[in-house]
């Protein structure tokens, strides 16, 4: 809200990483790279998000907000 961009910066950055990964994989592997390039390029970020979510779920107790 302060910078005026909100969630668009992380989303466009992630989309750019996906596109660059696909571009590189297509250049190396051909059309199979369309399916594999995006995930291999962003695997680190996806893994970090999942692991962080699991750790937070283990640390904090879920419950109703009152």
Which pLDDT tens digit goes with each residue over 9-33?
A: 677 778 888 899 999 999 998 988 8
Q: Is residue 3 part of a domain?
A: no
Residue keyed to tokens 């909100």: 6
pLDDT tens column, 40-55: 888 988 898 899 999 9
Q: Is residue 21 part of a domain?
A: yes
Question: Looking at the 3D structure of the chain, how many domains does it have?
Answer: 1
Identify the pLDDT of residue 52: 92
Q: Is residue 64 part of a domain?
A: no
Q: Is residue 34 part of a domain?
A: yes
Q: Is residue 66 part of a domain?
A: no
Stronger pLDDT, 29 or 6, i.e. the higher one: 29
> Could you give the CA distance from residue 34 to residue 42 in angstroms, rounded to a whole number?
14
Q: Which pTM does this prediction carry? A: 0.62
Domain holding 35, by residue range, is 8-59
Q: Is residue 18 part of a domain?
A: yes
Q: Is residue 22 part of a domain?
A: yes
- The secondary structure element, H or E, covering residue 35 is helix 33-59
């Amino acid at each position: 809200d302060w910078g005026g961009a909100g969630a668009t910066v992380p989303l466009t950055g992630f989309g750019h990483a996906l596109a660059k990964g696909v571009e590189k994989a297509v250049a190396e592997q051909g059309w199979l790279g369309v399916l594999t390039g995006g995930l291999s390029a962003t695997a680190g970020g996806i893994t970090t998000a999942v692991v962080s979510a699991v750790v937070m779920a283990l640390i904090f107790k879920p419950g109703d907000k009152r």
